[in-house]
C-alpha cells in the first residue's frame, strides 16, 4: 500500500468509525419504511444494530440518488448487513484491520475473549443476511444481491449496490 492509499484508507476507516459511534435512526425515517416493507422485513430491520440500520438507510439513499427504484435492489441495500447482529464496534475495527493487514491481524484479535465469535459472524454475514432476508419474505433477486454483495453477480445492479455500500 502506498503512503497515499494508506492515508486514504485510514481516513475512510476513521469516517466509518465516527459514523458507527454517532449512528441514529430518526422515528420519521423508520416510519417511512413501514410504507414499503412488509411487517417481517420491518422486524428484520428493527432487529439490526443501529449502525447497520443507519448504514442501510444511507445505502438506499445512495441507490435512489443513482435513479434506482426497483424494490428488490432497495431492499438489498437496506438489509444487506442484517446478519452482523449485535456485533459491536471493536470487532468491526479488528475486521477492518484484518482486511488491510491480512489474516494475521484477525488471528491476533481472535485471542481476545469473545472476539473470535464476532469475527466469525462478520466473516459470514453476507450469507446469514441473505437467509434472514429470505425468511423475511424478500424475493430471490434481493437474496442473491445480498448473498453476493462482495463479489456481485447481478449484471444490472450488483456493482451499483457494492459501490453504494462502500460509499455509505
Residue 118's CATH number: 1.10.3210
Counting the structural domains of the chain, the total is 1
User: How big is the CA angle at 121 (ends 110 and 24), to the nearest 5 degrees?
Assistant: 110
Q: Whole-number mean pLDDT of the chain?
A: 92
**Residue pLDDT, tens place only, 84-110:** 988 888 998 998 889 888 888 888 888
Q: Let me know: does 132 contact 83? Beta carbons within 8 Å.
A: yes
pLDDT of amino acid 81:
96
**How many residues appear in the chain?**
168
pLDDT of amino acid 1:
66
3-state SS string for the chain: CCHHHHHHHHHHHHHHHHHHHHCCCCHHHHHHHCCCCCHHHHHHHHCCCHHHHHHHHHHHHHHHHCCCCCHHHHHHHHHCCHHHCCCCHHHHHHHHHHHHHCHHHHHHHCCCCCHHHHHHHHHCHHHHHHHHHHHCCCCHHHHHHHHCCCCCCCCCCHHHHHHHHHHC
Q: What distance in Å separates the CA atoms of residue 168 and residue 155, rounded to the nearest whole number?
A: 21
Q: What distance in Å separates the CA atoms of residue 61 and residue 123, rounded to the nearest whole number?
A: 26
**Residue pLDDT, tens place only, 58-73:** 999 999 999 999 999 9
- The pLDDT profile of the chain, 168 residues, written as one tens digit per residue, is 677 777 887 888 888 888 888 999 999 999 999 999 999 999 999 999 999 999 999 999 999 999 999 999 999 999 999 999 888 889 989 988 898 888 888 888 888 898 999 999 999 999 999 999 999 999 999 999 999 999 999 999 999 999 999 888
Q: How many CA atoms lie within 13 A of 66 on its CB side?
A: 20
Which range marks the domain in which residue 63 is found? Answer: 3-167
Take residue 46 and report the three cell numbers written for it.
428493527
Amino acid at each position: 500500500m502506498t503512503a497515499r492509499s494508506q492515508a486514504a484508507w485510514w481516513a475512510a476507516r476513521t469516517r466509518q468509525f465516527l459514523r458507527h459511534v454517532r449512528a441514529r435512526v430518526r422515528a420519521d425515517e423508520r416510519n417511512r419504511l413501514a410504507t414499503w416493507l412488509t411487517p417481517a422485513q420491518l422486524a428484520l430491520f428493527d432487529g439490526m444494530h443501529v449502525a447497520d440500520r443507519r448504514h442501510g438507510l444511507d445505502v438506499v439513499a445512495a441507490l435512489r440518488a443513482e435513479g434506482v427504484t426497483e424494490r428488490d435492489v432497495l431492499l438489498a441495500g437496506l438489509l444487506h448487513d442484517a446478519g452482523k447482529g449485535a456485533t459491536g464496534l471493536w470487532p468491526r475495527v479488528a475486521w477492518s484491520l484484518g482486511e488491510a493487514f491480512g489474516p494475521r491481524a484477525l488471528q491476533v484479535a481472535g485471542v481476545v475473549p469473545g472476539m473470535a465469535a464476532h469475527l466469525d459472524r462478520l466473516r459470514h454475514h453476507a450469507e446469514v443476511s441473505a437467509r434472514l432476508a429470505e425468511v423475511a419474505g424478500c424475493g430471490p433477486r434481493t437474496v442473491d444481491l445480498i448473498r453476493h454483495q462482495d463479489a456481485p453477480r447481478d449484471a444490472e445492479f450488483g456493482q451499483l449496490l457494492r459501490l453504494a455500500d462502500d460509499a455509505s
